[in-house]
Amino acid sequence: MKIFNKIILLLFTALLLIISGCTSAGAPSSGVDENGVPWVSQRPGKLDGVSIWKLPSAPSGSRPDQSWLALGSDPMGNIYISGHDHQTNSMLYQLNQQDSILRWVGDARQASLDADNWQNGETAEKFHTRPIFHEGRVYVATLDKSSMDNAYRSTRGFHWYAYDLFSNDFIDLSAEEPNGVGAESLQIVTIQIDPINNLLYGMSIPENKVVRYDIEQGLTTVLGKPEAWTGYFYSNRYMWVDSRGRLYISGGTQRNQWNQQEPVDVLDHIWFYDDEHGFGETSFMLQGANSIEVGQWDKEHQSLYVSDDQGNIYRFEDEGPSWTYLGRPNFYAGESGRNKNKTWVFNLSADEEKIYIGRSDNFDIANEIWEFDIASGDSYKLCSLRELDSRAGYKDFITGYDSWDNQGNFYMSAFAMFDRENVYMMGINPVRLKLAKGIISELIEVNVQTVDGALQISRSGSTENSLEILYQTDYLNTSDDLVGSAYGELLFATGESLLMVDPDELSAFSESQTTGLLFSLIADGNDYVVGINQSVEME
């Protein structure tokens, strides 16, 4: 992606702030703009570092009262969340990082009507997919009829949709496919991007068939499933693609709620698909036949951390590849036992030291966020959701993974089923929350500016301890193309509050290839926050 496009996207988000005209002091907390777009502003939670939004209904009146694993972000730090009524329609919303306003950007029914691709009686119960960003668009797919029986056969098939950030259009991509759907009858529970090959993968429920959408051609192919995967059973909610284009998949659950007596020896390890071998098995063993539910790559896309819905955490290393079981938070089970707790919130800190993991759906005890230390395997309860908000904190379900903005906040949905109240979205800055709870003693903020051609990086607070900070450099050529990005670490030694850095020492490219760079501090999600001066451009 050209750096010019990245800058244009940033300008576009700022333009939305001007158009909305709703962020001035004393402005109302929700409304509809002159284009008919519903919006809502944030309100503070009960503790510092917590913000709350309540998803507005669609212009048609469709109410988003559920949101299943449907939160994502883009490179500019904007957050995307799907809300759905689990009956007729699904909506997509964008939280603009420039103004903290949550806006409806489209819904399945309206986009398909606009494309003349909505049949009488057709429904779109859910976007049960993490919104996936790729080259200026955010992709989702529909799941209509999610029960593990033949109900899906009564549907026309699923639709691919995309929100285009440049045109601000929400598009039914499948309107251009044969019969107006991605595949006849199939319904998609999760999707994943192969950015190198410009492909989208999806998995159906309950058949567990893999589909692949060629973005350039606008065409879906049904790839099928492993021969050993027979019958209907629980589909993975997270799958991933490695640097070689191999897709990794899993299936099954030992929970009585969804178990279909699927064979344990078939589903107690990870499977794969690639064009050379078709479907095959890996030696990556799972803690029982429990499919992968959530996951997040590190910032350099070398290590992937995943979990099943019971909190069993694994690490996948792209080089090799290799697979390691890391452990499980020491969740309190309550009277109903361990198997009631569900993990649908999962966010890896940028310094790759902590995972913030949710425990929910156990009606004996309140929903909670736990902190899991990757190196030691230790864990502790960071907070109860009821500490954070008197409304959202009391909902039955919390979901959302890999949902960070550029300020070190992660996001999740909070909702109950069919209670006629729209979904809440909660934003949490774990560093500020730890300060509010007394877990850490002071807030450290880092900023950057240029001084005489050098980078001057400052930190606030005590200098009694050293501090490692993270950064990203985007390198440009003479055509303003993004030549490449690099990540690094800088160290404040004990007693230091300022660092002077020669930008040439950061470059991973020769001067003949690069003419400038964009330097950005990265909030690590663990020890410090970034201030208003987070990025600088240099020639």
Residue 107 has pLDDT above 70, yes or no: yes
Whole-angstrom distance, CA of residue 469 vs CA of residue 489: 6
In this prediction, residues 300-312 reach a mean pLDDT of 97
Please give the single-letter amino acid code of residue 337: G
Interval 441-479: pLDDT, tens: 999 999 999 999 999 999 999 999 999 999 999 887 877
What tokens were used for 538? 């240099």
Which residue spans within 225-374 are E strands per DSSP?
240-241, 247-249, 269-274, 278-285, 292-297, 303-308, 313-317, 322-327, 345-348, 354-359, 368-373
Residue 173 has pLDDT above 90, yes or no: yes
Whole-angstrom distance, CA of residue 233 vs CA of residue 381: 32
**pLDDT grade for 424, boundaries at 50, 70 and 90:** very high
Q: Are strands 516-522 and 535-538 parallel, antiparallel or unpaired?
A: antiparallel
**pLDDT grade for 495, boundaries at 50, 70 and 90:** very high
pTM of the model: 0.93
The DSSP code for 116 is T
Which of 213-222, 358-367, 440-449, 456-465 is the least confident region? 358-367
Cβ atoms within 10 Å, residue 345: 33
Whole-angstrom distance, CA of residue 100 vs CA of residue 388: 19
Interval 40-92: pLDDT, tens: 999 999 999 999 999 999 999 999 999 999 999 999 999 999 999 999 999 99
At 509 the pLDDT is 56
Q: Positive or negative CA dihedral for 17, 18, 23, 25?
A: positive
Cβ atoms within 10 Å, residue 452: 6
In this prediction, residues 241-249 reach a mean pLDDT of 98
Whether residue 314 contacts residue 323, with contact meaning beta carbons closer than 8 Å, is answered with yes
At 26 the pLDDT is 44
Average pLDDT in the chain: 92
Measuring CA to CA, how many Å separate 65 from each of 95, 101, 418? 18, 19, 7
Residue 418 has pLDDT above 90, yes or no: no
At 16 the pLDDT is 42
Residue 144 has pLDDT above 50, yes or no: yes
Interval 2-27: pLDDT, tens: 444 454 454 444 444 443 333 333 45
Residue 137 has pLDDT above 90, yes or no: yes
At 515 the pLDDT is 76
In this prediction, residues 253-257 reach a mean pLDDT of 92
Can you tell me which residue has the tokens 């794969």? 272
At 335 the pLDDT is 61
Whole-angstrom distance, CA of residue 308 vs CA of residue 204: 18
What is the DSSP secondary-structure string of 437-462? TTSSS---EEEEEEETTEEEEEE-S-
Whether residue 159 contacts residue 125, with contact meaning beta carbons closer than 8 Å, is answered with no
In this prediction, residues 121-135 reach a mean pLDDT of 97
**pLDDT grade for 164, boundaries at 50, 70 and 90:** very high
Whole-angstrom distance, CA of residue 53 vs CA of residue 95: 9
Give the residue extent of every domain in the chain.
Answer: 445-538
**pLDDT grade for 193, boundaries at 50, 70 and 90:** very high
Residue 428 has pLDDT above 50, yes or no: yes
Whether residue 486 contacts residue 506, with contact meaning beta carbons closer than 8 Å, is answered with yes
Superfamily of domain 445-538: CalX-beta domain (2.60.40.2030)
Whole-angstrom distance, CA of residue 67 vs CA of residue 418: 12
